[in-house]
Amino acid sequence: MVLKSDYDRNVQNSIVENNLKWILHRNCEVLNSYEELTLKGMKTMVKVNDNYLKLPGSYLFSTIAKKVNAYTEANPDKKIIRLGIGDVTQPLSPAVISALHGAVDEMADAATFRGYAPDLGYEFLRSAIADNDYKARGCQIEADEIFVSDGAKCDSGNIQEIFALDNKIAVCDPVYPVYVDTNVMAGRTGTYDAATEKWSDVIYMPCTADNNFAPQLPKEVPDLIYLCFPNNPTGSTINKAQLQEWVDYANKNSAVIIYDAAYEAYISEADVPHTIYECEGARTCAIELRSFSKNAGFTGVRLGFTVIPKELKVGDVSLHALWARRHGTKYNGAPYIIQRAGEAVYSEAGKRETKELVAYYMKNAAYILDGLKSAGFSVSGGVNAPYIWLKAPNNMTSWEFFDYLLENANVVGTPGSGFGPSGETFFRLTAFGSYENTVEAVDRIKKLSI
C-alpha cells in the first residue's frame, strides 16, 4: 500500500473507521472511490473492548480448584467434602420432571410443536409468576411487566446496558461479583486500585459484623444501587422497614435499585420482604431479578425473570420499554420446555416439592450454623439463606483458613476475601451439599482444636 500524503492518511483513517465492519467481512480489502486505495493488511485495525483488559483476574474459584487438586494428588486417600460453590445438588422435583416430559412430547408433534418463544416469555408462565410471586403477596405486578430469561446471572449482568455510562453504581462489599464486573466491561467503573481492590467510580457499601452485614445508605448518592437479599455471600437479610428506607432513598434521589431476589425462597422469618414490591413506592424506583436456580434447582436447565414496572421511568423514558427493546433485539427466549417446567413450579405439587427442596438445604444450613456455633465460631446467615458466613478464627485471613480447613478437615469452602475487601477474614460455607456430607463436614470441623 502506498500512502501519498497526510491527506491520504487522514482519508484512509476515516474510511477505516467508517468501514471497519465491512472491511472485516471483506477480509480487509476495500476499494474506495478514492483511487487505488486498498486497505489490505489492515486487520490490525480491529480493537478489542479494552474495558475487558481492566478486569483483575478472577482467581477465586480457579485458585480453589488448583489448591484442592494439589491436595488431592498429594493425599489420594482423603475424602474431600465441598461446601464451596453455590450450586444445587438435589434432582429436579417430580412435578418439574413430569412437565418437562410432557413438553418434550409436545415438541415431537407438529400440532403442538413450538418454535421461537414470545419476546417477554410465554403468557402461561408470566401469569403464574404474577399471580404466585406478586399478587398473592398483595403486590400489583402484572404479567406484562415480567420478562422471562435464562437466569438471573445474565439479567443482573445485562441490565446495566440500558443505563448511561456516566451513571454511578453502588454495591455491597462483599458482593456477588457479576454486578461490578459487568459494569467494568461496560466502562462505567473508572480505574482499579489493586492495593484497595476497589474501582475509583464505584460506591462501596461495606457490610460487616458492625452493621449486621446490612449496607448503610451511601452519603454520595449513586444512580444505580445493586441490592441482593437474602444475600450472597453473607446470608444476611434486611427487614421490610429497612428495605422501605432504600426505596424512599431511591425515590427521593431519582436512583434506580436493582434488587436481586435470587434467594427469596429461603426466607423463613416473617418480617423479611420476599419482593421489593412489598414496599410502598417501589414501582417507581426498582427492578427485581429472580431465578429458578436456587428454589427449584434449575441451575442446569436455566430459567429466571426480571420485573420492570411500567411506572419506572428515567425522566420520561420508560425502562420497561427500553428493556423490552433490548430483550427483543438480543434475546430469543428461554426454551418452551423449560418455561413449562417453570410453570410446574407453581402447580400445587410443584409448590409443595419446591418447599421440600428448600427445606432439605435449610436443614443443612441449620446443622452448619448450630455445629459451628457450638464449636465457638462466630457465625451468621443460614436462617433466611443457604449461605453461612463465618469469621476465620485466631486472626487467620480468609485464605489461611481455607488452607487450614482443607488440610485439617478436608473441607472446602470459599474465602470471603474473594467477594470483596470487606470479606477478608470471613469464610462462606454453603448448604447445597448432601445432608450426609454436610453432617460429616461439620463434625470434622467441630473436632479441630482451634
**Positions in the binding site for ligand PLP (CB under 6 A):** 86, 151-153, 156, 176, 228, 232, 260, 262, 291, 293, 299, 304
Question: Smallest gap, in angstroms, from Cβ of residue 377 to ligand PLP?
Answer: 23
Task: Kindly tell me which of 236 and 293 has the beta carbon lying closer to ligand PLP.
Answer: 293
Task: Kindly tell me which of 12 and 293 has the beta carbon lying closer to ligand PLP.
Answer: 293
Question: Smallest gap, in angstroms, from Cβ of residue 303 to ligand PLP?
Answer: 7
Task: Kindly tell me which of 41 and 91 has the beta carbon lying closer to ligand PLP.
Answer: 91
Yes or no: say if 429 and 390 are a contact pair by the CB < 8 Å rule: yes
Question: Smallest gap, in angstroms, from Cβ of residue 291 to ligand PLP?
Answer: 3
Which helix or strand (DSSP H or E) is residue 354 part of?
A: helix 348-374
Task: Kindly tell me which of 39 and 338 has the beta carbon lying closer to ligand PLP.
Answer: 338
Yes or no: say if 445 and 371 are a contact pair by the CB < 8 Å rule: yes
Please enumerate in sequence order all residues whose Cβ is within 8 A of that of 149, keeping only pairs 6 or more positions apart, or say none.
121, 155, 303, 304, 305, 306, 327, 331, 334
For the chain, what is the total number of helices (H) and then of strands (E)? 14, 17
Task: Kindly tell me which of 371 and 416 has the beta carbon lying closer to ligand PLP.
Answer: 416
Residue with the three cell numbers 414501582:
283
Question: Smallest gap, in angstroms, from Cβ of residue 86 to ligand PLP?
Answer: 4
- List beta partners, residue 228: 260
Q: 435: how many CB neighbours lie within 10 A of its CB?
A: 15
Question: Smallest gap, in angstroms, from Cβ of residue 85 to ligand PLP?
Answer: 9
DSSP string of 252-286, one letter each residue: HHT-EEEEE-TTGGG--STTS-SSGGGSTTGGGTE
Mapped onto helix, strand or coil, the DSSP state of residue 148 is strand
Residue with the three cell numbers 428448600:
358
Which helix or strand (DSSP H or E) is residue 178 part of?
A: helix 178-186
Give the C-alpha distances (Å, rounded to integers) separating 69 from 62, 74, 75, 299, 430. Answer: 10, 9, 10, 24, 20
Handedness of CA 26, 31, 34, 37 (dihedral sign): positive
Task: Kindly tell me which of 304 and 350 has the beta carbon lying closer to ligand PLP.
Answer: 304
Yes or no: say if 170 and 202 are a contact pair by the CB < 8 Å rule: yes
Question: Smallest gap, in angstroms, from Cβ of residue 448 to ligand PLP?
Answer: 28
* The residue count for the chain: 450
Task: Kindly tell me which of 15 and 357 has the beta carbon lying closer to ligand PLP.
Answer: 357
Question: Smallest gap, in angstroms, from Cβ of residue 227 to ligand PLP?
Answer: 10
Question: Smallest gap, in angstroms, from Cβ of residue 232 to ligand PLP?
Answer: 4
Question: Smallest gap, in angstroms, from Cβ of residue 307 to ligand PLP?
Answer: 14
Give the C-alpha distances (Å, rounded to integers) separating 16 from 24, 35, 40, 46, 294. Answer: 10, 15, 11, 10, 48
Rounded to whole angstroms, the Cα distance separating 339 from 216 reads: 38
Task: Kindly tell me which of 184 and 296 has the beta carbon lying closer to ligand PLP.
Answer: 296
Question: Smallest gap, in angstroms, from Cβ of residue 386 to ligand PLP?
Answer: 10
Task: Kindly tell me which of 156 and 438 has the beta carbon lying closer to ligand PLP.
Answer: 156
Return the closest-CA partner of residue 376 out of 364, 390, 388: 390
Task: Kindly tell me which of 126 and 153 has the beta carbon lying closer to ligand PLP.
Answer: 153
Question: Smallest gap, in angstroms, from Cβ of residue 373 to ligand PLP?
Answer: 24
Q: Is 77 exposed, middle or buried (0-12, 13-18, 19+ CB in 10 A)?
A: exposed
Q: Is 102 exposed, middle or buried (0-12, 13-18, 19+ CB in 10 A)?
A: middle
Task: Kindly tell me which of 291 and 422 has the beta carbon lying closer to ligand PLP.
Answer: 291
